[in-house]
Structure 1
Amino acid sequence: MNQDYQDPLEIYQEQFKEIYAAIKNRDRGYLYEAITYLDPENSEDICHYFGIDKNSTLDNDFKFCKPFLSSPIKDLSIFEHFLLKEIAKMKEEAERQVVELANFFAPVKDPSVILTGIIIVAFILPALYFFSQKLQPRRKLNKTTNIRQPQVKGRDRSLEPFKPRVTGLPRKPSVLCLVLSSRQFSGLNPGLQIPSSRVKELISSASYFLCDGSLQAIDQKVNLNFSGSSINFSSEEYAYIQLIIPEGEGMIAQETKYSLKKKLPDGDAKINKIARLINLDGLENFICA
């Protein structure tokens, strides 16, 4: 069995929790921010295409999301003339299955449930956007769909088809620092190479994290009180680990554990340092998970 395999449902649940925590205290732009978390590189194009305003209120965001929640196939005719016959046959069944979901969201006033609906739509829109770009030009889509027009006036730029990033230059390494329970350190030692799947486990368990581009930069930011004694692997007390991530340039300055894991390249990482902490002083430059 592939040790790097992760259950898609587990990944979705973890992403959902992190996005919810990130947007729940905002006063505007909930859907915009959720999409930015999911796809930071393409979020601007996605939001512009669907007319999602970063200053939109909670009520306006939810009004926009309702058609997607009530009947994502029937109410959105975006694919009506382009569906393959096999997919078209599934339309009636899909509409029947979403009736229950529609009834659930129709009278909703609870902000927590509204945010849940907004996050669900945030997962849907990037897929719709990239699929629609393959089906037809954007200008033609705007004439034949009920998707609202962009709210930003005077902005009319054509969108280029999505292209994967291609570069002949290798990415620079990064230095990832984590503070987490000592129980997570069992079997880990300085100098050890660990797979990306293990790094993701450590990130998920971390209470504090920091990622920068060099050891010198980390030394300037990390001012923790390290203990000279060995780590007690059966203890819940906090300990510190420093990892060198080859080609981990994209992880630098990320502000969520989800984005760290998303930017984590495949391959092994080297444990540069492990240390027991005397206390939690000196975490000012770390991000609290």
Structure 2
Amino acid sequence: MSLVTLENALSKIGKESYGIGAFNVANMEMVMGAIKAAEELKSPIILQVAEGRLRYSPLHLIGPAMIAAAKAASIPVVVHLDHGFSMEVIAQALELGFSSVMFDGSAYVLEKNIDMTNEVKKMAKKYGASVEAEIGKVGGSEGDYKSVEMLITSVADAKTFYENTQVDALAIAIGTAHGHYKEQPKLQFKRLEEITQIIDCPLVLHGGSGLTPDDFKNCIQHKIKKVNIATASFENIAHKVGEVAKRSKNNTFFQYLDAVLEATYENVKNHILIFGSQNKG
């Protein structure tokens, strides 16, 4: 199946009730672990890296590994730039061969967000790539960027934005947050329903790590089609690596790499089963 666009992957869902997991990766072992889980479960998958993490995973190094893995995979794989803020990084991702990019203009007023998103759409069109955008603000912190306060997406703003951009996917804020939750999130399903009634666009849930399986399933039933997972993977890796370190003081470098791969595989497999995308690839 190999490398596909975000628009292609999400359009295959149609009226079925499942979501596709978008898993942030930071090195080759995470890429390998994520693909291993998706192939085992015959699930489509989205591999992504956020601009805020590029200090740890430079795009010119991690990008080609993600693309090579996608092209060799037996299932559909989207290679996506998550939370792209700068035109330079978005352009670099497209030039490398990413099949999808996200422009996060949520910090701007609506009109500027629309204008800049349309500029990104023009850039992406030259490469046949998809575009995700964001309306409202998902709380917490993405990568090395400063934490922001949550701003639930306005129905009117979502309508105006989509009518003027026709993006391939739209990230909305309904009560989730990036990183760790200080308290159990209160998801705004009524707002989600209101938005799905007025725009016909695949919706994206950011800040998925920390939600319960029922939270995810409710979101998917309310037409969320792309679900982002980052923190859960990174935390599982830290835990697994810590377990290896405790077992022996004579571990090899490669035992730690195996732990990274296995921890990613476990977390991705678990979420694919929750999202219901197994056997959809």
Asked if these proteins are the same fold (TM beyond 0.5), I'd say no
Query: Which bracket does the TM-score occupy, shorter chain normalised?
Result: under 0.3
Higher relative contact order (CA 8 A, sep 6+): 2
Larger radius of gyration: 1
TM-score (norm 1): 0.26
